[in-house]
Amino acid sequence: MKIYTYGNPVLRKKAKSVQHFDLELKRLCKDMLKAMHNSQPRGVGLAAPQVGISLRLIVVEHQPGNVKCLANPEILSSEGNQIDTEGCLSVPGVYANVKRADRILVRAIDPETHARKEFYASGFLSRIIQHEIDHLDGVMFTDYFDDLSSFDFSEDVAIPEALLKRYQK
């Protein structure tokens, strides 16, 4: 499963709600998790648009083995602030300190059980979920900044051409 990178139009579309909870959706969750695990560096979250599928579906693993696959996730409330470094599998080698809510109340549907659930997430899990929900709305973490000086870059990765063009004056 290919992870689409910065500049691909699918990453800027607002994803469609999941309507069908079937074996195919469960398989997509597993395939997304596998793609996330096989990425370099290994990811902690992935949204369906990042693999070219415009669906409101995310997988997160904030601790090894603690996996959540969430369909139609939404943030009902948020509180507090945290600032920490983020990267993205769709913008490899690019990092920045992003301000996010510290604690969020999330509502989503579990693709395995089809049950609607609400739960609180805080700290790192909260950050991952917010980052992935941004992807479902066509927003990338790089959108929070006005110039390239806000980013750190890995030496071994080429900066996406589309990102450089966005910040050219």
SS3 letters across 64-112: CCEEEEEEEEEEEEEECCEEEEECCCCCCCEEEEEEECCEEEEEEECCC
Q: Are strands 94-100 and 82-86 parallel, antiparallel or unpaired?
A: antiparallel
Task: Mark whether 112 is an active-site residue.
Answer: no
List the catalytic residue out of 61, 74, 79, 132.
132
- Of 45, 30, 125, 110, give the one whose Cα is nearest residue 71: 110
How far is residue 111's CA from residue 27's CA, in Å, rounded to a whole number? 10
How far is residue 20's CA from residue 40's CA, in Å, rounded to a whole number? 31
Other CB atoms closer than 10 Å to residue 64's CB: what's the count? 9
- Inter-residue contact 33 to 61 (CB < 8 Å): yes
Q: Which residues are catalytic?
A: 132
